[in-house]
A and B are shown apart, each in its own frame.
Chain A
């Protein structure tokens, strides 16, 4: 079933391509696919900054921005003008070339992930047969630009911030990938497009999303925890840590470069959210069979906004974790649970359907989890430290 409204972007692209000579068609096709993504997601970034400030304001019983335009709707424009007109300060001893390249590199790395995200039916820049693998490979490029920023600034605060950021990102990259492995196991494919197609069917009115299975819901929860940590958002925003290390690895950046870091961070958040939608929430497919008449890209962005709202809600609720808590959570809880979840996915695959399968699968993950959480919660004894070399 392909409605014309659903395929409007695909059809208009083909119509535009018909004016291009055949020799230039591959290039023109690539440009026509990439440019809308380059426009849509920074726009979403602008909207999200406003939504975030408004939402956090309301969570704290404030109004949020309401001075620029009606209901403060022009706030992103004001912010953009502000960051463009600010002085761009580069530290005297900084490595100028690397200092300049780091924010650009970050944004570029963040954008590369969008190449395999199916935004709508037949709407994906490139249907790689190793799409999920590509996504995580490109996602880990962000760490490189973080270290470029921290190192080239020639400031101990930047460097410490970068170290913390990279320690965190690498720790959470492992559970992020392991949480998504279950989907690959079930779908039998690394291609994002075929993963979404596997979830596009319906039983009655209910969709076949992977999140509605025991391994799916656990995987989704773990994926979102890891994605929050991966995109340096509260409560895992230690690398930024406004109150203690001011802005971490980008402390020496100002003006538009600072804004680029912000853009890169949000783009990374959108990309991982988009991947969560693709893997667990059925990509562009409608939540009920009777809602399939709404265009697929609308569903994708609706789900994305819902996840963004979740991120904002979490940010407005939870305090920042301590470094040891962050690492304990990653290695003592998220990683073992992700491994268990892979076992659950295997059991789910080989057991016959029915309520017993549900019970067994839930038991496999729930019983060890209670022990793991008890371990996390145990009272740690803090003692006065003696520094043998500081005497």
Chain B
């Protein structure tokens, strides 16, 4: 019969109309500022700098090697190396970035900086509502704005962060063992100039 398809369609839309008032599951809309979709673990948008311990400056993992700056395809990272040195995540004295800026209006979230970082210092963040009314200053993030704690990193990417932490623990144990061995060797033969010998070995161990 002609019109039976129309009636079927009308029944379907009526079911949607009343059903959307009865069951919340039908409504696929997320009321954005109040509700948010749960993010998957691999979510990423813009990079941030990880620091260990309580102080963001002292605990900064970044050693200003500038690999990420060179690798960044849209050239949104700007780094200035410091003149002095401070201990890095493993405890070795290293340079640190005097200036570390990322222009997230230029960043394309490719994650290449994260891939190339030998110190696990730069990682991808999950914060996405970064809109601002100042499109030049507000989107140019400096060192302080970029620094986020290791706890935060553990919270947003638990699996990845656990692997990084395990790696650091191993490195620290190795460094400690070596320091102990050196101390013992120094106690046994105090005349040997150990610091000169130890330096290349330490460099190899990263």
Contact = CB atoms under 8 A, between A and B. Distances in A.
The answer to whether A and B belong to the same complex is yes
Interface of A: 55, 58-63, 313-314, 316-318, 373, 376-377
Contacts of B145: none
A376 B27 contact: no
Nearest to B5: A318
Contacts of A316: 13, 17
Nearest to B1: A373
A58 B2 contact: no
Contact of A59 (B1, B6, B17, B27): B17
Contacts of B27: 61-63
B10 interface: yes
B16 A58 contact: yes
Given A313-B10, A317-B6, A318-B9, A63 B29 contact: yes
B159 to A, nearest CB: 35
Interface in B13-45: 13-14, 16-17, 19-21, 26-29, 31
Contacts of A317: 6, 9-10, 12-13
Contacts of A313: 10, 13-14, 17
B9 to A, nearest CB: 4
Interface residues on B, range: 10 to 19
Given A61-B19, A313-B17, A373-B2, 9 more contacts: A58-B17, A60-B16, A61-B16, A63-B29, A313-B13, A313-B14, A314-B10, A376-B2, A377-B2
21 contacts: A55-B17, A58-B16, A58-B17, A58-B20, A59-B13, A59-B17, A60-B16, A61-B16, A61-B20, A61-B28, A62-B29, A63-B27, A63-B31, A313-B13, A316-B13, A316-B17, A317-B6, A317-B12, A318-B9, A373-B1, A376-B2
Contacts of B21: 58
Contacts of A58: 16-17, 20-21
Nearest to A62: B29
Contacts of B29: 62-63
B6 to A, nearest CB: 7
Contacts of A59: 13, 16-17
A61 B17 CA distance: 7
A233 to B, nearest CB: 15
A62 B28 CA distance: 7
Contacts of A318: 6, 9
Interface of B: 1-2, 6, 9-10, 12-14, 16-17, 19-21, 26-29, 31
Contacts of B16: 58-61
Nearest to A310: B10
Contacts of A376: 2
A316 B21 CA distance: 17
B194 to A, nearest CB: 70
B2 A61 contact: no
A316 B1 CA distance: 22
Residue with the highest number of chain A CB atoms closer than 10 Å, among B6, B16, B17, B31: B17
A41 to B, nearest CB: 26
Nearest to A314: B10
Contacts of A60: 16
B191 to A, nearest CB: 80
Nearest to A319: B9
B64 to A, nearest CB: 47
Nearest to A55: B17
Contacts of B14: 313
A238 to B, nearest CB: 18
Contacts of B1: 373
A170 B13 CA distance: 31
B6 A61 contact: no
Given A313-B14, A377-B2, A61 B9 contact: no
A57 B90 CA distance: 57
Nearest to B14: A313
Contacts of B28: 61-62
A288 B81 CA distance: 88
Nearest to B26: A61
Contacts of A377: 2
Residue with the highest number of chain B CB atoms closer than 10 Å, among A58, A60, A314, A373: A58
Nearest to B8: A317
A376 B26 CA distance: 36
**Which 6 pairs between the two chains have the least Cβ-Cβ distance?**
A373-B2, A317-B9, A317-B13, A59-B13, A58-B17, A61-B26
Contacts of A63: 27, 29, 31
A373 B4 CA distance: 12
A318 B31 CA distance: 28
Nearest to B18: A58
B21 to A, nearest CB: 7
Contacts of A61: 16, 19-20, 26-28
A63 B31 CA distance: 9
Contacts of A373: 1-2
Contacts of A55: 17
A305 B67 CA distance: 68
Contacts of B10: 313-314, 317
